[in-house]
């Protein structure tokens, strides 16, 4: 697994300021209730995955556009403090992306976001502003669902032409993301240029029309993808290459907040891929990142490798599932 280029992972996609709200429980329309706490942090599918990778010691860079407002400073500062490179982030007039995530006492959450000026990123801007950085990377993280598909295609094509491996993520269903049919069709242009494709079972099921994780993975592999991964929530994940497939169970943990868990999983998966570990080991490492992210409201995609290794060691000692 992995190319021989510098160990830089760049990510193009969702990055925004997230306002977090903790409540005892979700209410029906018209209800009123207590707010336990509020907070602000960096967030977004791609930004979170980069934060997780930085926490694991990987050099990272976020490629995105922000406004000239206070949220831009918050986002850039938060990413920088997390170890994510922000040297090529471009500022323009307009509003920086923002979102709200509401979490209940069970750790479940709902979220809403506005991509701000980052949603205006064009293919031409990708080539002009981020082309050289993408070409210098070992891996490009890209996403569909919450980002302009034309910009994602431009970045992926740049990476593919330069021999940079591409990890593509399906975070939510096309219906949740509000994608038009032509955008969904455009995604097929990406798959043949990707090395790794991952996503939630519900999102990939909606995109492919297939029901089982194995069927989804085989579908993706037919496009030339080397590794296909479907996340299954608390049940762990299913991974498949052209040679083999396996289900890796999740880790039972006390869930405090699921925010960023899927993104932490993705960061852990990319880390494992870069270190050329076996299929089961990669699944266990990624599962551990996602599980540990759920154990504290402060763990939003910034789980340490020490914590991951400790959880994996406990799994091996107990002899329950995994590699």
Residue 162 placed within a domain: yes
Is the residue at 33 inside a domain?
Answer: no
Q: Is the pLDDT of residue 13 over 60?
A: yes
183, pLDDT greater than 90: no
Rounded to an integer, the average pLDDT of 170-181 is 61
Residue 24 in any domain: the answer is no
**pLDDT, tens digit, for every residue of 237-285?**
999 999 999 999 999 998 888 888 999 999 999 999 999 999 999 999 9
CB-CB contact of 250 with 311 (8 Å): no
Percentage of the chain beyond pLDDT 70 is 90
pLDDT at 226 over 50: yes
Judge whether 106 lies within some domain: no
Q: pLDDT at residue 1 above 90?
A: no
* Residue 143 in domain: yes
Q: According to the model, what pLDDT value does residue 318 have? A: 61
Average pLDDT over residues 58-64: 97
For position 278, which CATH number holds? 3.40.1190.20
Query: Is it the case that residue 145 has pLDDT exceeding 70?
Result: yes
Contact 56, 265 (CB under 8 A): no
Q: In terms of residue numbers, what domain contains 84?
A: 8-15+45-95+118-318
Q: What is the mean pLDDT of residues 174-184?
A: 53
- Is 172 domain-assigned? yes
- Percent of the chain surpassing pLDDT 90: 68
Mean pLDDT of the chain: 89
Structure-token pair, residue 266: 């993705």
304: in domain: yes
Angstrom distances, CA of residue 256 to CA of 182, 225, 291: 38, 35, 10
Tell which residue, 113, 155, 66, 10, has the closest CA to residue 78.
66
Top pLDDT among 141 and 175 is at: 141
The string of DSSP letters for 204-220 reads HHHHH---SHHHHHHHH
Average pLDDT value for residue range 158-183: 77
Residue-wise pLDDT for 94-127, tens only, equals 999 999 999 998 888 888 889 999 999 999 999 9
Question: 124: part of which helix (H) or strand (E)?
Answer: helix 123-125
Residue 319 is predicted with a pLDDT of: 53
How far is the C-alpha of 242 from the C-alpha of 190, rounded, in Å? 19
Look at the chain and report how many structural domains it folds into: 1
Tell me whether residue 35 is in a domain.
Answer: no
Q: How much is the pLDDT for 299?
A: 59
């Amino acid at each position: 697994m992995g190319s021989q280029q510098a160990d830089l992972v760049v990510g193009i996609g969702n990055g925004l300021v997230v306002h977090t709200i903790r409540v005892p429980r979700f209410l029906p329309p018209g209800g009123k209730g207590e707010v336990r706490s509020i907070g602000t942090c960096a967030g977004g599918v791609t930004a979170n995955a980069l934060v997780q990778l930085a926490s694991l010691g990987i050099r990272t860079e976020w490629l995105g556009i922000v406004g000239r407002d206070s949220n831009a400073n918050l986002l850039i500062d938060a990413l920088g403090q997390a170890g994510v490179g922000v040297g090529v982030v471009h500022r323009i007039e307009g509003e920086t992306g923002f979102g709200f995530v509401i979490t209940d006492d069970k750790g479940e959450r709902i979220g809403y976001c506005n991509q701000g000026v980052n949603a205006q990123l064009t293919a031409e801007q990708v080539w002009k502003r981020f082309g050289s950085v993408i070409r210098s990377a070992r891996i490009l993280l890209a996403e569909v669902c919450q980002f302009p598909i034309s910009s994602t295609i431009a970045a992926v094509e740049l990476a593919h032409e330069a021999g940079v491996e591409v990890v593509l993520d399906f975070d939510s269903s096309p219906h949740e993301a509000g994608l038009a049919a032509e955008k969904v069709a455009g995604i097929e242009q990406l798959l043949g240029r990707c090395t790794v494709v991952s996503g939630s079972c519900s999102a990939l099921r909606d995109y492919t029309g297939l029901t089982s994780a194995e069927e989804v993975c085989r579908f993706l592999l037919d496009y030339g993808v080397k590794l296909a991964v479907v996340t299954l929530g608390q049940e762990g994940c299913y991974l498949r290459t052209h040679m083999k497939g396996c289900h890796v169970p999740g880790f039972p943990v006390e869930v405090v907040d699921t925010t960023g868990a899927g993104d932490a999983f993705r960061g852990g998966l990319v880390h494992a891929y870069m270190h050329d570990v076996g299929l089961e080991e990669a699944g266990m490492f990624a599962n551990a990142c996602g599980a540990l992210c759920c154990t504290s409201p402060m763990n939003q995609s910034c789980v340490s490798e020490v914590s991951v290794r400790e959880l994996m060691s406990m799994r091996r000692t107990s002899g329950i599932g995994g590699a």
